[in-house]
Structure 1
Amino acid sequence: MVKVGLTGGAASGKTTVCELFREKGVAVSIADDLARDAVKAGSPGFDAVVAWFGQGVVSERGELDRPALRRMLISDTESRRVLESIVQPEVIRLMGAFLEREEGRGAAMAVCEVPLLFELDLAGMFDVTLHVGVGHVCQCARLMARDGVTQTEAERLLALQLSDEEKRGRADLVLDNTRGLSELREGFYKVFEKIIKKSRGSL
């Protein structure tokens, strides 16, 4: 089974690429979903987050208020490290379990979407790393539109990750997403064929 690590900066289009993989019948694990599981209401992770950040990160529904938490992390390095120490080990464990499960059922390919793949040095978990690339200006604009943040907040959030250029240089494959959906889809099909070749012994 070919294990694909899909990464890219915030608002780069990773979710869309995940859907394209699913259209091909490939199982996809989303790191953000796993992170939610790691801190869902009632879990030890949830209790640890609230103990550190306070009730201000709890929504009216009794769940984590992720936008509020994100705003707190922008300018607080220590809090970000605390959150990472709570969430990341569990996310990595769940990803490993997903890959084992897919391999056990005989899947030819499985994809893990991991925004911080290179930052956390997780490339070794995968046979192929695929970066969804988008220029900084476009990425910042998309992040502002998606999350309703200011340009300053968007720049700070992007500064928490490796640059698009560095990720491009470290990835085995790059899927450019600076244009529209049709161009992204066309590029995806080419990348998908390359990954299929990898499964047959050549990339």
Structure 2
Amino acid sequence: MTYLLGLTGGIATGKSTVAAVFRAAGCPIVDADVIARQIVQPGQPALAAISQAFGPTVINLDGTLDRKALGAIVFADPTKLAQLNRIDKPYLRQAINQALATAKATGASVVVGEIPLLYETHYESSFDGVAVVSLPADLQLKRLMARDGLAEVEAKQRIAAQMPLAEKVARADFVIDNSLGAAGREQQVAAILAQLAR
């Protein structure tokens, strides 16, 4: 029987890096961020709904979503972020569920769903267990600023827009400390997979 493992964490804690370790160990990965980009491609109903809600300034001249413009709006205003999440949620949930079912059909013993807002969107009940990727707060802030080219105030807004990392860690079935480097990551993932194989 396939074990569905939800993989989450805070922004810039290294979820994708950890997912790559699971992938290398043979686990199919369903990446919610990839799916989220697919559902807002030109011609998709989610993009039309976003354009209607937030106006033409969030659409590039070529008809694609201007993520930076949309991010500037929603991360500065919690009500607008909630509005965006309400628009996205049904399309995203349906596409993720479809991808998880396809991955399960491969017969893999563990399928990993990489879902950044897993707890925020109350998605944990769809999984058999949840692994949270953690990182010390100062390191998370530094990585986010470097990765996205954000000023400290913008980076802090984005971190604050999510559930506190400590709360995610407290709710997790498994915690992966991503400050231990590549070898530490691999050991922790191997330990989880060994536990699930028992």
TM tier, shorter chain?
over 0.9
Q: What secondary structure is seen at the aligned counterpart in 1 of 2:87?
A: helix
1:141 paired residue number: 142
User: Partner of 1:51: helix, strand, or coil?
Assistant: helix
Aligned residues: 197
Deviation per residue, 1:52-101 (Å, 9 max, x gap): 22222223432112122112111122221221111112211122212222
Q: Is the 8 A contact 1:128 1:195 kept in 2?
A: no
User: What residue is the counterpart of 1:201 in the other structure?
Assistant: none
* Unaligned segments of structure 1, at least 5 residues: 198-203
| Cα distance in structure 2, aligned partners of 1:107 and 1:187 | 20
Q: Which residue of 1 aligns with 2:126?
A: 125
Tell me how far apart the structure 2 counterparts of residues 101 and 31 of structure 1 sit (CA, whole Å): 14
- The C-alpha deviation readout for 1:141-194, integer Å capped at 9, x for no partner, is 100000011111111111111111111100000000123223222222222222
Q: Aligned partners of 1:80, 1:130: CA distance in 2, in Å? A: 25
Counterpart position of 1:35: 36
Shift of 1:105: 3.2
Partner of 1:175: helix, strand, or coil? strand
Is 1:103 the counterpart of 2:100 in the alignment?
no
The residue that corresponds to 2:171 in the other structure is 170
- Using the size of structure 2 for normalisation, the TM-score is 0.93
Gaps (5+ residues) in structure 2?
none
Post-superposition CA distance 1:100-159 (Å, at most 9, x none): 223333221211111111111111111110000111111111000000111111111111
Question: How far 1:15 sits from its partner (Å)?
Answer: 0.5
Identical amino acids, percent of aligned pairs: 34
Q: Which moved more, 1:165-174 or 1:113-122?
A: 113-122
Structure-2 separation of matches of 1:31 and 1:123:
14
User: Hey, what's the Cα distance between the residues in 1 that align with 2:26 and 2:60?
Assistant: 36
1:81 alignment counterpart = 82
| Cα distance in 1 for residues equivalent to 2:108 and 2:187 | 24
Q: State the SS of the aligned residue for 1:50.
A: helix
Residue type of the alignment partner of 1:170: R
In the TM superposition, what is the alpha-carbon distance from 1:24 to its structure 2 partner?
Answer: 1.4
Q: CA RMSD in A?
A: 1.4
Check conservation: 2:4, 2:111, Cα contact below 8 A.
Answer: yes
Following the alignment from structure 1 to structure 2, what is the Cα–Cα distance between the partners of residues 151 and 181?
A: 27
Q: Counterpart of 1:138 in 2: which secondary structure?
A: helix
Is the 1:5–1:112 Cα contact (8 Å) retained in structure 2? yes
Displacement of 1:28 in angstroms is: 0.6
CA contact under 8 A between 2:12 and 2:143: conserved in structure 1? yes
TM-score (norm 1): 0.91
Provide the C-alpha distance between the structure 1 equivalents of 2:157 and 2:196, rounded to a whole number of angstroms.
34
- How do 1:1-203 residues align onto structure 2 when only pairs under 5 Å count? 1-197=2-198
SS at match of 2:118: coil
